[in-house]
Amino acid sequence: PLSVSIQQFDVIAALVATTFVLHCAIYQSYLVQDKKWKLVNMKKSLNDTYMGIILLSLISSLIILTSAAALHPKGIVVNSAADMALQLEALFGSYTKIIFSVGLCAAAFSSLMVNSIMGGGLLADGLGLGRSMNEKMPRIFTSIILLLGMVIAVFFRGNIIYALIMAQASSIFAVPLIATGLFLVLNNKKIMGKYRNKTGQNIIAVFGFVLICILVFYMYHKLITSISAI
């Protein structure tokens, strides 16, 4: 679409939040330490990072294009997983919902586990209680996060699709703080040395930061409005 309505900002915020995941960038430093990589491994790590960005962008683009081509012309409003599955009907026919459900289950399980591990690990390390999944407290915090997710999924009785959008969009609130911290570290000559950010990288970073702040302001306003309406 060539124009965007203000009512669609929650969807945009959810899309940005699910791709602009700076907490993954932070946790990547833990993984690098666990692998005991040094500066000699930088080229390999950068290649892995670039490949991840390219694949994620490609998959996101394909999903958006497929949805726009298959659902929008028919005026289909997505209110359930079955509605989302309709975009694959031309390819898989009567097996569409089964195949989509398997894929959705895999996506949910992988995201839940990865985010829970990152959340548990970062929380434990922030409290000085350990940083590795081989330690007790990170595993306990990870288990608590998984249990909270299970309780919400089991007992929630509202619009599932809208809940997913709002949950993903709400995760954007922490991004400005994470972005500020990363920006300061990456521009610190004492820490980064000759590898600190270049001018072009900083321009892109500032543009992304401004975009995130606009979306955070919108989501904060929408959250306050929703709470006031209760």
The closest of 98, 97, 103, 145 to 120, measured between CA atoms, is: 145
Kindly state the tokens that stand for 154: 């089991």
Which of the pair, 8 or 185, is modelled with greater confidence?
185
Q: CA 27, CA 121: separation in Å to the nearest integer?
A: 8
Q: CA 44, CA 56: separation in Å to the nearest integer?
A: 18
- Do 124 and 135 contact (CB within 8 A), yes or no? yes
Examine residue 143 and state whether it is found in any structural domain, yes or no: yes
Examine residue 229 and state whether it is found in any structural domain, yes or no: no
Q: CA 161, CA 184: separation in Å to the nearest integer?
A: 37
Examine residue 13 and state whether it is found in any structural domain, yes or no: yes
Whether this model's pTM surpasses 0.95: no
Examine residue 73 and state whether it is found in any structural domain, yes or no: yes
Q: How is residue 4 annotated by DSSP?
A: -
Examine residue 83 and state whether it is found in any structural domain, yes or no: yes
Domain count, the chain: 1
Which of the pair, 10 or 109, is modelled with greater confidence?
109
Which range is least confidently modeled, 30-44, 198-212, 214-228? 214-228
Give the tens place of pLDDT for each residue, 140-186.
999 998 888 888 777 776 666 666 666 665 666 777 888 888 899 88
Give the tens place of pLDDT for each residue, 93-131.
888 888 888 888 887 787 788 888 888 888 899 898 988
Examine residue 120 and state whether it is found in any structural domain, yes or no: yes
What integer pLDDT is reported at residue 82 of this predicted model? 74
Q: Which domain holds residue 89?
A: 6-173
What integer pLDDT is reported at residue 24 of this predicted model? 78
| Residue 139 pLDDT exceeds 80 | yes
- Do 186 and 192 contact (CB within 8 A), yes or no? yes
Examine residue 163 and state whether it is found in any structural domain, yes or no: yes
Measure Cα distances from 203 to 195, 206, 211 in Å. 16, 5, 12
- Do 152 and 174 contact (CB within 8 A), yes or no? no
Give the tens place of pLDDT for each residue, 61-85.
887 788 777 777 777 777 777 777 7
| Residue 47 pLDDT exceeds 80 | yes
| Residue 25 pLDDT exceeds 70 | yes
Examine residue 196 and state whether it is found in any structural domain, yes or no: no
Q: CA 61, CA 58: separation in Å to the nearest integer?
A: 5
Query: What pLDDT band is residue 8 in, cutting at 50, 70 and 90?
Result: low
